[in-house]
Structure 1
Amino acid sequence: MTAAPEVMTRAPLRTIRPQDLAEVYTQPNVQLTRLVRQGVVRKAAPGVYYALPDDRDRRWVPTLEAVAAGVATALYGDRVPVLMHLTAARLHGAIPRAITAAVVAVPRKHPTVQVADRPDGTITFVTRDVDALDAVLLRTDLGPALVTTPEQTVLDLTKRPQLGGMPAEAEDAVRTLLPRCAPERLARLAHEQRMGATLARLRAAHEPS
């Protein structure tokens, strides 16, 4: 079977845009269509493609969280986007079942994207100061990506529980993650990011009376 080009397999999260192949192919879109047909590359979203890992067959599909990380990285650059909110909660194990919404913090506005490799799945881009977010590097199916810490995630879920359209799951994730959070780190982040009211609401809802 034909292999994906090295520029794809070495790209962050194995994900690229056609223009990233301009130095390899004179007609990147034509070659990507061929590679998709051969099953070694898959379309992730409009204008974004990922190479399947070498040890996976054509039926394998990465998690939505991994695809969201790859798409955002292809659009904004390596280690720039930060997986947040429901997506961070998923990667921290606070939402056990697969969901159809992904949320990514990015430095500039971008419309919501419908993913192309599964029947349902959207990526919502939230404009944030990504450098100010408290984040760690975690593994996904396609490679490592920045993900908000439990403390940052809890604050974000509490501030915007409706983001992603799953408020009940957001609330459950807060309950799961809160015992893992360091109170002093929560307080520091809330102060630095002007989320004092969010922290007060979090405490009122979850601290023993």
Structure 2
Amino acid sequence: MVDDTRVLRQFEAAPLRALRLRDVKDDDKANTWRTIERLVDRGALRKLTHGVYVAPPGGRDAHRWRPTLEAAALAVATARHGVDDVALTGISAARHWAAVPRAIGEATVAVPAAGYAPITLETGGRVRFVPRDMERLDLIREDTELGRGLVTTPEQTLFDLLMRKHANLARDEVDVATRNLAARANPADYQHVLRAAKRVNQPAKAMLEWLGRDAHVG
């Protein structure tokens, strides 16, 4: 149908290929949900959470395709807040940087305001929305399977984990992530992160000293 195609193209053109139902432009606004249901039934769209849907990349069948937890979490946050106001952070950013070897059942996304309850994705996994001052974060735009989005840099991610900006994670998972991130962190970039922070704890300060010594030895 013409309307179905027009609606699907909106998802394909959207940042991270995701939109809220309320943001879909449809000539028959009262029945937009019916259009979405048809597209879901056809495997052209997949529901991520209440009111948010995503178009699989590359024309894949949504009945057989499932996004990674990190990509899905970032897509939901992007649909709600905009692509420039959200970022993967904490252990989810560590996963993006391949600093955590195994999958984690929870994703963390930085958002510009507080008050957003955690959600459980239809595709599996839980997402926490953490209020952060985006201007103070060291961010980089990275490719995901759904498109380009913001992620905290390895240095910012390392700092966040050392500052204990994580929850429901085993200590050994965080230790593995910090070791792997420290191995690739640039001392000057890490120092920049510390200078931008409002508060720096002792583990984060000690990491700067360790990075400096390691760079000197290298």
Structure 1 and Structure 2 fold alike (TM over 0.5)? yes
Identity %: 36
Distance 1:75 1:169 in 2: 30
SS in 1 for 2:157: helix
Deviation at 1:200, TM superposition (A): 2.3
- Alignment of 1:93 onto 2:98: yes
Match of 2:163 among 137, 159, 177: 159
> What corresponds to 1:59 in structure 2?
64
> What corresponds to 1:188 in structure 2?
192
Distance 2:32 2:194 in 1: 46
Distance 1:114 1:145 in 2: 21
Paired amino acid for 2:11: M
Cα 1:23/1:166, change in 2 over 3 Å: farther
- Alignment of 1:130 onto 2:171: no
Deviation at 1:33, TM superposition (A): 1.7
Which of structures 1 and 2 has the bigger CA Rg? Answer: 2
- Alignment of 1:174 onto 2:145: no
Cα 1:30/1:15, change in 2 over 3 Å: same
Cα 1:12/1:178, change in 2 over 3 Å: same
SS in 2 for 1:116: coil
Query: Which consecutive unaligned segments of at least 5 residues does structure 2 have?
Result: none
Distance 1:136 1:77 in 2: 16
Paired amino acid for 2:205: A
Match of 1:117 among 118, 123, 130: 123
> What corresponds to 1:108 in structure 2?
113
Distance 1:202 1:158 in 2: 9
Cα 1:54/1:162, change in 2 over 3 Å: closer
> TM (normalized to structure 2)?
0.86
SS in 2 for 1:5: helix
Distance 2:28 2:19 in 1: 13
> What corresponds to 2:9 in structure 1?
6
Deviation at 1:175, TM superposition (A): 0.1
- Alignment of 1:76 onto 2:86: no
Deviation at 1:162, TM superposition (A): 4.4
> TM (normalized to structure 1)?
0.89
SS in 2 for 1:146: strand
Aligned residues: 206
Distance 1:69 1:25 in 2: 29
Match of 1:199 among 198, 204, 212: 204
Maintained 8 Å contact 1:187/1:199: no
Maintained 8 Å contact 2:89/2:151: yes
Paired amino acid for 1:113: I
Cα distance per residue 1:157-179 (max 9 Å; x no partner): 11116424343212211100102
Paired amino acid for 1:170: V
Maintained 8 Å contact 1:88/1:147: yes
**Alignment root-mean-square deviation, CA:** 2.3
